[in-house]
Structure 1
């Protein structure tokens, strides 16, 4: 029986995690499809650009990666120290690079006065966003969803592009030597 990722991730044990995502329906992620003759190599640039953009937003660093013909390998480093140093404004600005945010966060960024209850609610929301910006699942969601939409549009099809959720495995400190 598989365990939820929340029980598999222990930052006390290691901040490094190896994540793998596979394509479905014999879809090509990148490279040349020998059967059809189509070249999908440009998708490698999509993935690399998206990974680097997400790494600049999240408190997760790409320690290593490989983009294969039908799957990706990414080694992520969770940088909680950096995330904990972010101000409320930094968290909101980072989150809003990916998502709309809330009316409350938008008002806060515009410098509008917020009452005590609104500030308390904003603090709750930014605490949640800080957690998500250090979360492997949120990182992989933002990466894989974007690539799937682009690939499905290019392939003129709908449905799943990735084989379920990504797989992840903790990398013990011995891996680093």
Structure 2
């Protein structure tokens, strides 16, 4: 049975989620469509640009993304604390980048509010917008709706562009976060459309590698790697970027060579996470096939299920 989105996203359980959205009938509406003999490759750039734009509006950090020919992946960190710390003015400014300000909010900004009732109504609108700024559903809605509208205008047609619902998986711990990011970044390599991460177009790993080549510490619009997350003032992914890139590169080579034997060059990051080579390669090829809404160590499942107020949920155990 399909679960309500409110039961799949619970910030008390985890702020990290892996989302997938697919084109209707899984047709290649963002790539080369054999049926119509038409190339829609440029739409992958639309999605990439929209993801980056929304990351500057929403209090939702982009850990990884990959835009394929008929679907896209995005791994996000929902930053509720950031949203709650925004001033009312900041909330209005952010939301107004996407939507026209109603008259009441315009009056609030110009100090034309003259009654308590109007002020309370304006404050309710601002608080509603604040909640939307850390809502995964609203983030995905703004992303998918914009792309669908542009595509329908381009083809002069109406109707659905995306499947009605996006798929989401709660990432309960560091193992799950790392696995979902690598799974996402290696989508083109696994699909055979790219030979290595640096040639994987429309992916976050390519953005991070380009930023390194430019001497930048992190790629614009992407959640940074901060190494060991012991410094409370730093916000980011709790791994070293070079460790992650080494692991992604190694995993991509394993995909191409089709080997599953023990490798002496196994990246040390897997050892620190207590994951075997076989376990890692399995999750990097089968994360979606499991139809799991929870991903993490088996010990993390009971607490997450309780926080999501469910009796049971389908989970993918990483040991």
Query: Normalized against structure 1, the TM-score is what?
Result: 0.91
Q: Which runs of 5+ in 1 are unaligned?
A: none
Q: Deviations over 1:22-45 (max 9, x none)?
A: 111454232333454422221111
In the alignment, which residue of structure 1 is the partner of 2:129?
Answer: 129
Residue 103 (structure 1) aligned with residue 100 (structure 2): no
Q: Determine helix, strand or coil for the equivalent of 1:175.
A: helix
Q: Structure 1 CA distance, aligned partners of 2:25 and 2:3?
A: 26
Alpha-carbon RMSD across the aligned residues, in angstroms, is 1.7
In the alignment, which residue of structure 2 is the partner of 1:156?
Answer: 156
Paired residues of 1:15 and 1:79 also in contact (CA < 8 A):
yes
Q: Determine helix, strand or coil for the equivalent of 1:137.
A: helix
Segments of 4+ in structure 1 off by > 6 A?
A: none
Q: For residue 110 of structure 1, report the CA deviation from its aligned partner.
A: 2.3
In the alignment, which residue of structure 1 is the partner of 2:40?
Answer: 40
In the alignment, which residue of structure 2 is the partner of 1:72?
Answer: 72
Q: For residue 107 of structure 1, report the CA deviation from its aligned partner.
A: 1.1
Q: Determine helix, strand or coil for the equivalent of 1:99.
A: coil
Q: Which has the larger radius of gyration?
A: 2
Paired residues of 1:29 and 1:44 also in contact (CA < 8 A):
no
Q: Structure 1 CA distance, aligned partners of 2:83 and 2:143?
A: 19
Seen in structure 2, the aligned counterparts of structure 1 residues 175 and 25 have a Cα distance that, compared at 3 Å, is: closer
Q: Deviations over 1:44-69 (max 9, x none)?
A: 11111111111111111111111111
Q: For residue 163 of structure 1, report the CA deviation from its aligned partner.
A: 1.2
Q: For residue 82 of structure 1, report the CA deviation from its aligned partner.
A: 0.8
Aligned pair count reads 177
Query: Normalized against structure 2, the TM-score is what?
Result: 0.52
Q: Structure 1 CA distance, aligned partners of 2:157 and 2:28?
A: 13
Q: Structure 1 CA distance, aligned partners of 2:26 and 2:2?
A: 25
Seen in structure 2, the aligned counterparts of structure 1 residues 101 and 9 have a Cα distance that, compared at 3 Å, is: same
Q: Structure 2 CA distance, aligned partners of 1:2 and 1:29?
A: 25
In the alignment, which residue of structure 1 is the partner of 2:176?
Answer: 175
Q: For residue 113 of structure 1, report the CA deviation from its aligned partner.
A: 4.0
Q: Structure 1 CA distance, aligned partners of 2:20 and 2:177?
A: 19
Q: For residue 167 of structure 1, report the CA deviation from its aligned partner.
A: 1.3
Seen in structure 2, the aligned counterparts of structure 1 residues 62 and 114 have a Cα distance that, compared at 3 Å, is: farther
Q: Structure 1 CA distance, aligned partners of 2:55 and 2:117?
A: 33
